[in-house]
Structure 1
Amino acid sequence: MLHLIKKLPSILFASFILLGQVDYNTEIQPIFSNNCGNCHLGNSSGGLNLSNYENVMAGGDSGAVIEPGDHANSYLWQRVDDGSMPPGNNPDLSAEQINLIAQWIDEGALETPASNDVVITFQVDMTYQDVSELGVHIAGSFQGWDPSANECTLIGDNIYATTFTLTPGDNHQYKFINGNAWGMDESVQRDITVPEVDTILEPVYFDDYVDVGGDSVFVTFNLNTSTAPGYTDTTVIVIRGSFNDWAGNDWQLGNTGGDYWSLTSPTQVEPGNYEYKYVLLDEFGDHWESLDNRSLLVDGLSDLNLPLDYYDATEAPFTATDSLDVWFRISTAGILGYSGDPMHIAGTMNNWIGEPLTQEGEDSEFWSGQYSFESAAFVSYKFQHGLDGWESISDRSATVSGDTTLAWVYFNNEPPSEEETISAEVTLTCVVENNVYDDVRIKAQFNSWTMEPMTNDGEGNWSFTTELLGPA
């Protein structure tokens, strides 16, 4: 049994500012070429030729003029430092040039700078893991995030290690993998700023687990789908994660009403840190949440009832207040000939005065909005197509007793028709005996219950012509 949980801080290193090594050909030779040409380039005074690296290191008639690693005992540096070279009226070298020559000598008087890179050994403790037969690997920004490219070697006591040659001061992120593919990686992301010397990092527990005891427990997941595009109570949603090998359909949630879903794990879950996602299943395939993996910490102290998750979102669609917050949602997919007109809502919460909803995205069929109530309430309401286009059904209602999202509905409860949409010009006629009225108007569902004038033929026959979409 694994008893794993307490998080350990990731190891961080302070960055160092490093001086780059001196390059002979681009920094030292130009000093000699520009200041020593009269005596030590073509003429080789005293047998010393400073025209290239090989000649400089060969020295002159009196022997070597450079002592690698020791500028103070290097004859050439002594002469430029005391001003005797260049001789006569030639200008002395600047302090910066003299110091650069000293630095080059102290660094070993190399023609090509030695690499600053250092060897870093990474170590992971797999004590509390069932090590995969695929091995333990490391992946990070220093090797292209390839989970199978660099296997760690067991060096004893469940410690696995591997080394990389890196550049001091560089910052990298990395992870260990119990296996050789993503999905087998630890949930923590580690950081390192490369130190200036070869370093063996202290071992870290895989996923930062340590043994704190605890038993396997049941875990209850809770989900709200008000943030999803059109999920209904018949939608099939499953949970996949590191606790079930990121596969299978056994962990299927059940709808508990409207936007709300729940699942208690089919089996007990051992203490540990896990990751998971919700997945929609339909005839077109498996549709995973697009956000980062969700995290789960099982401490093994008691069964868990998790806080509410929102599908493919990190928070509720409404803005939480100190009041009772309710989220209303309508679909326009069933409105024949819908052309993007704003949707409204009116009810007892706003004195039946229509207020606009917000479209959930460009070209989205869904419009939604929030109302907050000071206390528990019974609410009656209707949606409107435009400001005056009332639904023709009976009032909708909801009992508000806490923060909630109301399941989305079709306008007028009419889903999209699978039949071909047709249009027809229709003329409605109203006969007024004795032609006693000067003005006759009509309102109906087809004009969103907005009064429109009819036309009198002079004999009391009032008509109204409009184009209707069908079937209806």
Structure 2
Amino acid sequence: MKQLYIHLLLSLFASASAMAQIVNISFTVNMSQETVDSAGVRMAGSFNGWADTLMADNGDGTWSLTLQLTPDDAIEYKFKNGPDGWENFDGPCNMASFGNRTYTVPADDETVPTVCFNSCFNCGIQGVTLTVDMSEETVDTAGVFIAGEHNGWTDGPMTDNGDGTWSTTIGVATGDTTQYKFKNGPDGWETFDGSCLFSGSGSNRWLVGPAADSTTATVCFNSCDACGGGPVNVTFTVDMQNETVDSAGVRMAGSFNGWSDTLMSDNGDGTWSITLQLAGGSLTEYKFKNGPDGWENFGGPCLIGDTGSNRFINAPESDVTLPTVCFNSCFGCNQIGVTLTVDMQFETVDPAGVFLAGEHNGWTDGPMTNNGNGTWTGYFGAMPGDTIEYKFKNGPNGWENFDGDCLISGAGSNRYTPIPMMQDTVIDVVCFNMCEACVVLDTVDVTFRVDMTEQTVAPEGVFLAGSFNNFSDAPMVNMGDSIWALTIQLAPGDTVTYKFKNGPDGWESISDMSCTDGSFSNNRLLIAPPLHTTLDAVCFGKCSVCFDPYSVTSASVVNSCKNPDGTVTIMFDESLNCDVVVGELAGMAQIGFHSGANQWASVVAWDDPNAVTATNDGNDVFSLTIDPAAYYGLPADEITSIWMVFNQGPADPANPWDSEGKDQDLDENGSCDDLRLFVDQMPACSFDPTTTSSPALKNAGSCYDPNTGMVKIRFDEAMNCPNAPGDLASMAEIGFHSGANTWSNVVAWDDAGAVFANNDGNDVFETIIDPISYYGLGSFAELDNIYMVFNQGATMPNDPWASEGKDFDVDGNCVDMRFILSDLPTCEITTTIDRELENSLVAIPNPFTDKTTVVFSNPDNDTFEVSLLDVTGKTIRTFARINGTNFEIDGSDLSRGMYFLNFRNMDGKLATLKLVVK
């Protein structure tokens, strides 16, 4: 009896323990923005094999369901409006496969917060994505959190983006103000001072709920600004030509100065300017004012709201000069305003947003405004009668690429719009990558494709079976190259399951679940797209494509690399030569290089007069360096691969092919394959920039004279960084901003003793300096290098950095120029610049309107030839045989602007004076 009692207790304890492993979880969905299907609202997920479980109608627009689940289980699920109305949206709560919601079951009963159908938040709540940059912090092992009013100041885990930034999305009602802070670990609260805080030092960050889902600018932990960015200089200019300017001047007022007046500078040409320091990434609202009371009052796309509201700018991360606008207008005076809207409903929008790029802004990224309904709007101004080309971009790199009659020159080219003569215009809304508006189709053609490369195809062929045909066999069509295809009509948004079959009985067996429904059969799953679509060809039995050995670089040349100057170094390891290749290249000093770009589309034979040879490094690794664009005569951006075979031509030109260097027999046909090198798979060559001069300097003839200690710096503008701002070409002189020994001794471009670089007429700019006196060094032996950046300061001193001359790395990023003595040749330098004369030159007055007197030192009573040049280097006037110490220039017939006065004496020595006519 005692034993029976013990067994009963143990049984009861086991039952109680089992019951303790089940918790009640209540889910509620708000259907107030939907027309509810007569069959009710359902919930389907991994907890019920994706079958429908009917939810209970609460009578207030919400529907609920309580499930019994096991703690720590991770489930995926969706709500459904009727039997077929699956949710289909993007958001931070449905990052699993096929856009499923996810939930990890807690240890206790829980009521999950109510959400709106097709949203991560309740109806009326907008998602705001916030990102904090932790690159200047040591991140706590527990991660980064956000705490605020939205979550009761509890720790909300943020997602590591893998690039030093962490993100999360919170829900905020439109118009509500919410406060928050980021935390480095559970205890690492932010504490700092800045304009982004709600009530001063140490207080909270804050935001106002937007009208639609939005993404805020990335900020640095413990800062209002982007990391490393800090304040940026933003120059605003307003054109008052259509206004009678108040005697008190033109002002600017905004959130940056508490809406008080800040006087702008009169440029003397009807425009007024001001440069403000703004926090990078910050939103600033503002208006121009004509006198103390003359507020702007107009409507247009540059305003943050309706007519009469404020202009705004989201400050960039670097200094910028904004386009000049007319008072009371979004555009320049006399310009026509063009407003464009693109519909992104069929696209997954890049987190960076949507951009408008075109001729109007130099093809830079012009941010568009999210309208909250899937459309984005942008605008620009252009002169009447012009035709402007443009494109929309999904994120910084997502250029449109399509075909249609709205393009200026066929597939892949630009959209265009003729600018009307009289009034602003609004272009009809178009769909991204289409000429027309987005149209939701009743049915779409979906072409399914499977790659049978890794299979032996059954005699009966390949079939497609799925929920759309009751899993019966639909014969597919052999398209060649082992690809089989079949087109099925589906309704957009439908969820279908399917499999490919190799013959009538050869069902796929897919172990990967990333493309399947997770059911017992593990069928492929697809949500029908909104447009006619051809699916990528997937490998039979896999979620991925079949491996193509011909799409990767050959093993024996895999160590080849890209150099910063655009050349490539090709290295062939003979020890990895084809096993069945003819002959033997090992031990040869040089071997022939027989090659072509883009799978032999442009061939340079090994014995071509311009062909190069590969040199043995002593270990049977043969190398050569070429500029592919010059070598194959193709634009650099069109070269995707280099195909090649090596031979013994240099050693035995009569029998070049008796020894070869090739790839292995990849297709097992008994012969070796050609070697392949894919440009996008090549790494950057390892090099030490401290020992390598910039190609734009080295190739232009920069050198130094060890006898006199002089250095000649020559900069070829044609080799300028492609992404450098502006354009220095054709300028007569450019600014020289430099420092000796990696910026240890800096001479700014506008320092009193700074020199300019002069254009030789071919856009190669030259300057000669004595680095000992120029940088204040003790001796020439102390000089290892000179780092520099060129700018347009010599020609446009009020906006010097709008055009720059820089080097660039292998990824196209602009970097400082390097003049490395150990990497440059020596030369004999005889300076042609008369520094004594140049330092004595002065014009009184300068700037001038009618006349100015040029005064100079001339102790040797030299005679000079003097030329007056404009900013493009064109000679406007010549003064012959000038001597003495002064002469007069009549400027009454000169246009306003900047000029250069060049002196040349009988020995050919030069000096230059800058003049300004106002």
The normalised TM-score by structure 1 is: 0.27
Structure holding more strand per residue = 2
Highest RCO, 1 vs 2 (Cα 8 Å, sep ≥ 6): 1
- Higher Cα Rg: structure 1 or 2? 1
